[in-house]
A and B are shown apart, each in its own frame.
Chain A
Amino acid sequence: MMAHVLTFLSGLLFALGLGVSQMTQPQKITNFLNFTGDWDPSLLLVMVGATGIYFVTHQLILRRPVPMMGKRFQLPTRREIDRPLVMGSALFGIGWGMVGFCPGPALASIVTGNESVLIFVLAMGVGMYAFEVLDVRFSMEPDGGAGLLPLQPKGKS
C-alpha cells in the first residue's frame, strides 16, 4: 500500500514539475522546436534541471542493492542502435513537433477537459495498442517480421 501511495506522489510531483515549467503548454514546446521563429529556449533549461538532478541521484540510488520496494532494479540493458529505435523516435518526434504534446504533459492536462487533449490521448493510446498488437504478431512470424521492420523480441525501457 505504502509503495503505491509513494508511486502516486512521484506522478503528482512529475505533473507539478511539468506545470511549473509550463511544459503543459504545447506552444512552449513548438516555440522551442521551431527555432526559426521567436525561439523559446525554456525546454532546454527544463532538460538541464531534470537531467542534472537525475545524473546525480541515480548514481546515489544505484549504490543500494535493491530499490525500496521490489526485489531488484529494472533498468534497460540493451545497447544496440537498431532501426525500430531510430524510426520510432523519428515518428514520435514528428507527432510531438506537430502539436507540441508528448505523453506526460498530455496525460497531466486531460483534467482540463480540453477536446484536443482528449483526442490526442485517445489516439496515442490507440497507436500504442496497435503497435503492441502488430509487434507481437510480426515477431511471432518465422522471419520475425523481417519483411516489414526488423522488430526485436520485447525489451522495453
Chain B
Amino acid sequence: MENFTPVSSLIGGITIGLAASLMLFLNGRICGISGIFGGLLHFKKGETLWRFSFVAGLLCGGVLLLLYHPRSMVINIPYSGPTVMLAGLLVGIGTRMGSGCTSGHGICGVSRLAPRSLVATVTFLASGAMAAIAVNQFWGGQA
C-alpha cells in the first residue's frame, strides 16, 4: 500500500462532491459525466449549452491541473491502441446502456441510496476488478 494517498484522496473526493452539489443546486440535475457528455452528441434545444459549459469547465480544469499540479496529469497508459479503443467503446456503450458511470451512479446515486445506482456500482466495481486482474495476470499489464 505504498501508493496510498489518503489525505489528497479525501480532499479531492470532497471537492468532487461539492462540484456535484453545485450542479444539483444550479441545474437540479445529477452530475453524471457520461450522461452530460453523451447528451452533447446530438443537439437538442435547451439541452446542449449547459452540457457544453460543464464539459468546457472540465477541460479548463484539466488545463489548470497541467499548469499548477502537473504531477496529476502525467498519464502513463502501457496498452496498445486497439486495447485502449476497445476499452473506450465498452465504456461508451456500457455507460449509456446502464444509464450512468462512476459519477452519476457511483457518487450521486449511491449518496441518494438509489437502488439502481447501488446495483450499478457494485456491478461495475466487480467487473472492473475482474478486468483489471485479468489484464494484469494474463497480459502482465501490457495488453
Bound together, the chains give a CA A81 to CA B120 distance in angstroms of: 9
Q: Tell me the residues in window 107-126 of chain A with beta carbons closer than 8 Å to chain B beta carbons.
A: 107-112, 114-117, 119-126
Given A4-B49, A76-B99, A98-B86, A90 and B123 contact (CB-CB distance below 8 Å): yes
What residue of chain A has the Cβ atom nearest to residue B76's Cβ? Answer: A27
Partner of B34, one of A78, A90, A108, A128: A128
The docked-state distance in angstroms from the alpha carbon of A3 to that of B52 is 12
**Which of A28, A100, A149 has the most chain B CB atoms closer than 10 A to its own CB?**
A100
Known: A34-B136, A47-B13, A91-B90. A19 touches B69 (CB 8 A): yes
A76 to B109, CA, bound (A): 9
Are A131 and B8 in contact, with the CB atoms below 8 A?
no
Contact B88 A127 (CB under 8 A): yes
**Complex contacts, A127 vs chain B, CB 8 Å:** 88-94, 96
Distance from B118 Cβ to chain A, minimum over Cβ atoms (Å): 9
Residues of A within 8 A of B112 (CB): 55, 58, 75
Question: Residues of B contacting A139 with CB < 8 Å?
Answer: none
Which B-chain residue is minimally distant from A35 (CB atoms)? Answer: B129
Helix, strand, loop or mixed for chain A's interface?
A: helix
A29, A115, A123: residue with the most chain B Cβ atoms closer than 10 Å: A123
Partner of A157 from B41, B65, B99, B110 at Cβ < 8 Å: B99
Interface of B is mostly: helix
Q: Which chain B positions have C-beta within 8 A of A67?
A: 24-29
Q: How many residues of B contact A (CB 8 A)?
A: 118
Please judge, given known A-B contacts A95-B89, A99-B77, whether A3 and B27 are in contact too, CB under 8 Å: yes
Contact call A21/B116, Cβ cutoff below 8 A: no
Query: Given A34-B136, A102-B101, A112-B75, is A21 in contact with B96 using a C-beta cutoff of 8 Å?
Result: no
Q: Categorize the interface residue count of chain A.
A: 35 or more
Instruction: Report Cα–Cα, A111/B10, bound state, in Å.
Output: 25
Q: Report the nearest A residue to B41, measured CB to CB.
A: A129
User: Is B28 a contact partner of A66 (Cβ separation < 8 A)?
Assistant: yes
Residues in B with CB closer than 8 Å to A68 are: 25-26
Render A22-42 as a binary contact track against B, CB cut-off 8 A, 1 for contact.
Answer: 111111111101111111111
Cross-chain contact A88 with B26 (CB below 8 angstroms): no
What is the minimal beta-carbon distance from A17 to any residue of chain B, in angstroms? Answer: 3
User: In this complex, what residue of B is CB-closest to A33?
Assistant: B132
Q: A128-B37, A157-B30 are in contact. Are A24 and B75 (CB under 8 A)?
A: yes
Q: Taking beta carbons and an 8 Å cutoff, which residues of B are in contact with A? A: 1-6, 8-35, 37-39, 41-42, 49-50, 53-66, 69, 71-77, 79, 81, 83-112, 114-117, 119-121, 123-133, 135-137, 141, 143
**17 A-B pairs whose Cβ atoms sit less than 8 Å apart in the complex:** A12-B58, A13-B18, A19-B73, A35-B129, A37-B136, A53-B13, A58-B21, A61-B25, A89-B120, A93-B124, A95-B89, A97-B132, A97-B133, A97-B135, A98-B143, A123-B92, A131-B97
